[in-house]
Structure 1
Amino acid sequence: MTQPTSKLPHVVSADFNGFLGLLVDNLSVMAFLATALIGIFGFPADLVYTRMFPGTTLGILLGNLAYTMMARRVARRTGNAKTTAMPLGVDAPTTIGMALLVLGPAFLHYKQSGMDEHAAAIATWQLGMASLVVMGVLKTVLSFFGPMVQRHVPRAGLLGSIAGIALVLMGFLPLVEIMKVPVVGFAGLGVVLYALVARGHMPWNLPGVLVAFVVGVLLYEVLGPLGWLGHGYHPMAAWQWRFALPWPTLAWLHGLPLTIPYLSLILPFGLLMVVGGINVTESARAAGDDYNTRDILLVEALATLAAGFCGGVAQTTPYIGQPAFRAMGARTGYTLITGIVVGLGGIFGYLSNLVEMLPLAVLAPILIFIAISITTQAFEATPLRYAAAVVFSFFPAIARMVAIKLGDPTYVAPDHFMALYNDASQGISELAVINVLGNGFIITSMIWASFVVAMIDHKPRHAAWIALLGGGLTLFGIIHSVMPAGNLYLPWTLDPAMRTIAFQFAGAYLALAAVLLVFSFWRGEPAPDHA
């Protein structure tokens, strides 16, 4: 029986737990964006906080409001008052990619070409807006094909690929940030695990995320001035109001020509969000909330477009943590509160102040909890016989995480990186293998899990066709791009060394497909299990 709208509360107490989790999740990604642009590339902070942040947070506001209404519609249709809204926020992997591979390098290039710093910063901002518009248009078109992909890709492929992202990008990388200030971060992480994993009771029934946040801030502000945190302590920046309305602007039109050199990165970023949106919809369905895939993708695409039209530079995405927020007890109110708080935070500037003031060690524990929840769900919602396929799908994500760290110019000088990358003294260099394996990792994970599932189901011919698809995508850099930055290409345009690597990776899939086709002619009993 469908439950009347009047009986669906707009906010329940557990929504504040979900709100804090989603808020901290967005704060963490925004903090990464600001830290990369300002700290690594010397981008003007005022432009980040008064131009880029307001437009980006507008997309978060609009998307979360739409997801809130969508969740209430699902709750009324199914009669399930415990329906949890799909969370939406700034996408972590592509935001990091935009900062490190597009915006930062473009800013340095414009300065080197003779622009003064302000003009270079404006051109970079326009490039970021135009990139978001391009991605938004691509996602709008592709949103209508999402359900078709969902029908043809096994659950192990959908959930395994998203669990790989969760484990290494949302789990391990934030854990590194936590352990830079371990006394603060590890204590906060412990509170999150006790409250949300072990289901321990918090004092006065306070939300566990709030308690972890308070514990982290107190430890940081008490022990830091005493010198007990070493160089991990930095006094909080002074509070300053920054009022900036995210008005629609045509400035992104000036950035459209600037996107051409970066389309090989921008278009895959948009494509990955469509694939990710399909995955998180399947993740929510596995947890018990049946959302329409096309609607989830279309709302997210329009939110990205709105952000780009109004000055944003980081695309929104439905977050992979919906089952984790459901486990917290959050319903439909947490996305409503988050959208309003984040949206207004971009306008009135308190979001940028929080990003400047709070250390990542305080913000990161909630990301690790979400990573644990998603990885756990990939195994719980997938039949046990497919567990090996889920595990196998993690490897490309691990390679991507290692490649991100090795490609960080603060760790390895670019010239030295390329020298190691092109070292062919013993075949393909180890650095090249890691980088190539990680490029296009989300789609790679889905392909790998899918052909293993087909093998487990004793369908070697089907597995062979999937392997052939992987080889075809490899030839053009959609997966396993041999370019360090993950660019797409036509294989015959590559230099000989790069072309050799591309053909070897594509040939690996071809060889696998051939072997599987040979196996398909044998129809004996399945091989016995081995201890």
Structure 2
Amino acid sequence: MGKEGFKYHWWGKGDIDASFGIFFDGFSKILTATGIMTMVFGMPARIVIGKVVPGIGLAIFLGNLWYFYEARQLAVREKRQDVTSQPFGIGASQLSGWLYLIIGPVYWQTKDAELAFQVGLAAAFIGGMVEIAGGFAGRWIIDNIPNCALMGNMASSAMVWLSIVGLAMVFDKPVYGLLPLFIIIIDYLGKADKRFAKIPSGVAAILIGTAVAWAGGYQTWGQFEQSFASLGFYPPSLSAGDIAAGFKGIVPFLPVIIPLQINNFLSTLQGLESARMAGDTYPERRSMIMDGVSTIAGSLFGNPFPTTVYFGHPGWKELGARAGFSLVNGCLYLLICTTGLTGVLMAVIPTEAVMVLLIFVGFSVTDSTFRSMDKKYYQVIFLSLMPILFQYMQTLISSAVQAAGGVLEAIPAQDFAEYSVPIEGIMYLGNGGFLTSLLLAGLLACVVDRRYKMAGSFALVMSGCAAIGMIHCPGIELLSRPGIIFGVIYLTVAIFLFSKGCYFEHQPDGQAEGRPDQALGKRAVG
């Protein structure tokens, strides 16, 4: 049969399972984000339900529509019925990063929900540009930055901003949050080699947590009735003016946006590589660019969160899914997000019961990272965790002080010292924690591989980032006091590493600099 006579049957036996699994996984992020913005941050529903959620629905609809089309084109080109589209949605670590490191801090400091929304949109717009640049530079980055540094940074982010933050939220509401958590963890530990056996337990965990919350009076009929007031039609509205306004306050968040989005397009690369190994080869650069385009399009219509290709393609393919789940999920997201049904679902399902799924995602990403790494890099990954953990500590301290009616910057460091709180150390390591984590992991991984000159290059980059305030400083500023201190220290480290590299190059026994053992482009991870 010629290509003209081939017809791709885009609905397979596994598309129902894939539709349910990906919908609950993806929509749990939307419910969590909506709950955190409205209930934890206290942002008004007119912004969250009226602007943010419709923008999310549009972005995910457009992205899923594209990946449905891409799978159909691949099937027609290769005349195969077993082509599976790539799962698509909001990245979990990007969601938590945007919430707790961009939108939340702006709102806590200014109490201006509109400004927090605008800065979040501007950050997503820039993040989309970084994703598009990744389509051209991503392969160079993964060929030159050690894989364990890239994956360690991602695993550290997932562990802190998904698992640790999620655990704190669950234990804050243990009555209806703890039992679902144990259901997920027991299923995960008991069926570690059956990744998709977790789907029914995830649904069961949410249902049990919801039932307990209603039985205990934490979710009430009054709240449920009030939620119907938000029902209506909320078409995505053009937010170009909001993005322009948000650019005025975006500079301090560049050290968060850039490394987060590097991880985002690396996740896309990993998804593409795993799809290729499963038999579906999609154009690498085009897919990465389309991720960025969908993120930018979403930001132009109110979505402050970056979008990306998910992991999981091989598992859904194994179940017999094709491309139908992408079309179904895209339409469902658009329908729910533009009708106010998200508010109704929030009144039915407590945020903490859904958060357990994201806790599992954090564990899963960290677990797959350690499984894929040589043991000699474990210390690199542990050390890359530290800046991000301190960034979380910094966020907690700052939020607690603001909740008490104070401002962290107005409290002298000696007041903290009286209670054995090394506040300056926490702030130095927390400022720009994502970028510090990535660069420090790269430096240490090169040292492990005895690539001392490359390690020196990482130290030089750290010196430059410190000098302009990208790391260790409260904001972007050329040659601030912390910038000078850390810049000189990292410059000294760079000189030492370069001299060490030159020494090994001239050893008579041929003890030259080593080569990295792993590269993401050579094999799939996760």
TM-score (normalizing by structure 2) = 0.79
1:354 is displaced (CA, Å) by 1.9
Superposition pairs of residues 477-496 of structure 1, within 5 angstroms? 477-480=469-472, 482-483=473-474, 487-491=475-479
CA RMSD of aligned residues (A): 3.8
Q: Which moved more, 1:433-442 or 1:3-12?
A: 3-12
Superposition pairs of residues 62-77 of structure 1, within 5 angstroms? 62-70=62-70
Out of 77, 96, 103, which is 1:99 matched to?
103
1:278 is displaced (CA, Å) by 2.8
Counterpart of 1:51 in structure 2 is 51
Structure 1 pair 19–124 and aligned structure 2 pair: CA distance change class (3 A)? closer
Q: Does 1:215 align with 2:205?
A: no
Structure 1 pair 168–273 and aligned structure 2 pair: CA distance change class (3 A)? closer
Counterpart of 1:183 in structure 2 is 175
Structure 1 pair 518–125 and aligned structure 2 pair: CA distance change class (3 A)? closer
1:216 is displaced (CA, Å) by 1.1
Counterpart of 1:404 in structure 2 is 395
- List per-residue Cα deviations over 1:153-203 (Å, max 9, x = no partner): 1210111111001101011101111112223222112222344442399xx
- List per-residue Cα deviations over 1:49-78 (Å, max 9, x = no partner): 123321232112222333444466678879
Contact 2:463–2:486 (8 Å) recurs in 1: yes
Counterpart of 2:240 in structure 1 is 252
Q: Look up the SS of the partner of 1:394 in the other structure.
A: helix
Contact 1:126–1:254 (8 Å) recurs in 2: yes
Contact 2:67–2:85 (8 Å) recurs in 1: no
Structure 1 pair 460–21 and aligned structure 2 pair: CA distance change class (3 A)? same
Q: Quick one: which amino acid aligns to residue 276 of structure 1? A: N
Superposition pairs of residues 19-58 of structure 1, within 5 angstroms? 19-37=23-41, 39=42, 43-58=43-58
- List per-residue Cα deviations over 1:383-424 (Å, max 9, x = no partner): 233222222211122112211211215666474522457559
> 2:74 and 2:371 mapped to 1: Cα distance?
24
Structure 1 pair 346–399 and aligned structure 2 pair: CA distance change class (3 A)? same
> 1:143 and 1:424 mapped to 2: Cα distance?
48
Out of 457, 460, 475, which is 1:465 matched to?
457
Superposition pairs of residues 4-23 of structure 1, within 5 angstroms? 6=8, 9-10=11-12, 11-15=14-18, 16-23=20-27
Structure 1 pair 266–419 and aligned structure 2 pair: CA distance change class (3 A)? closer
1:89 is displaced (CA, Å) by 1.3
> 1:390 and 1:95 mapped to 2: Cα distance?
24
Q: Which moved more, 1:93-102 or 1:468-477?
A: 93-102
Contact 1:74–1:83 (8 Å) recurs in 2: no
Contact 1:67–1:335 (8 Å) recurs in 2: yes
Counterpart of 2:86 in structure 1 is 85
Structure 1 pair 469–356 and aligned structure 2 pair: CA distance change class (3 A)? same
> 1:207 and 1:302 mapped to 2: Cα distance?
33
Q: Which runs of 5+ in 1 are unaligned?
A: 109-120, 226-231, 492-498, 527-531
> 2:391 and 2:74 mapped to 1: Cα distance?
36
Q: Quick one: which amino acid aligns to residue 63 of structure 2? A: G
Query: In the comparison of the two structures, how many residue pairs are matched?
Result: 485
- List per-residue Cα deviations over 1:354-385 (Å, max 9, x = no partner): 23442222111111111111001111222233
- List per-residue Cα deviations over 1:275-301 (Å, max 9, x = no partner): 122331344367565665533442232
> 1:431 and 1:323 mapped to 2: Cα distance?
44
Contact 1:209–1:366 (8 Å) recurs in 2: yes
Out of 478, 493, 496, which is 1:512 matched to?
493
> 2:10 and 2:432 mapped to 1: Cα distance?
41
Q: Quick one: which amino acid aligns to residue 477 of structure 2? A: Y
Out of 267, 272, 275, which is 2:262 matched to?
275
Q: Which runs of 5+ in 2 are unaligned?
A: 513-526
1:20 is displaced (CA, Å) by 1.2
> 1:462 and 1:83 mapped to 2: Cα distance?
40
- List per-residue Cα deviations over 1:178-237 (Å, max 9, x = no partner): 112223222112222344442399xx9982221111111112212x13xxxxxx666643
Q: Quick one: which amino acid aligns to residue 438 of structure 2? A: M
Q: Quick one: which amino acid aligns to residue 314 of structure 1? A: P
Counterpart of 1:228 in structure 2 is none
Contact 1:84–1:322 (8 Å) recurs in 2: no
Q: Quick one: which amino acid aligns to residue 12 of structure 1? A: D
Q: Look up the SS of the partner of 2:428 in the other structure.
A: helix
Out of 290, 305, 308, which is 1:315 matched to?
305
Out of 373, 381, 399, which is 1:382 matched to?
373
Counterpart of 1:430 in structure 2 is 422
Structure 1 pair 439–460 and aligned structure 2 pair: CA distance change class (3 A)? same
Counterpart of 2:232 in structure 1 is 243
Q: Which moved more, 1:280-289 or 1:509-518?
A: 280-289
Q: Look up the SS of the partner of 1:14 in the other structure.
A: helix
Q: Quick one: which amino acid aligns to residue 34 of structure 1? A: T
Structure 1 pair 182–293 and aligned structure 2 pair: CA distance change class (3 A)? farther
Superposition pairs of residues 447-466 of structure 1, within 5 angstroms? 447-466=439-458
Contact 1:324–1:370 (8 Å) recurs in 2: no
- List per-residue Cα deviations over 1:15-53 (Å, max 9, x = no partner): 12232122212321222222344x2xxx43234312332
Q: Does 1:339 align with 2:330?
A: yes
1:345 is displaced (CA, Å) by 1.4
Contact 1:396–1:444 (8 Å) recurs in 2: yes
> 1:205 and 1:315 mapped to 2: Cα distance?
26
> 1:434 and 1:408 mapped to 2: Cα distance?
14
Q: Which moved more, 1:44-53 or 1:284-293?
A: 284-293
Q: Does 1:366 align with 2:357?
A: yes
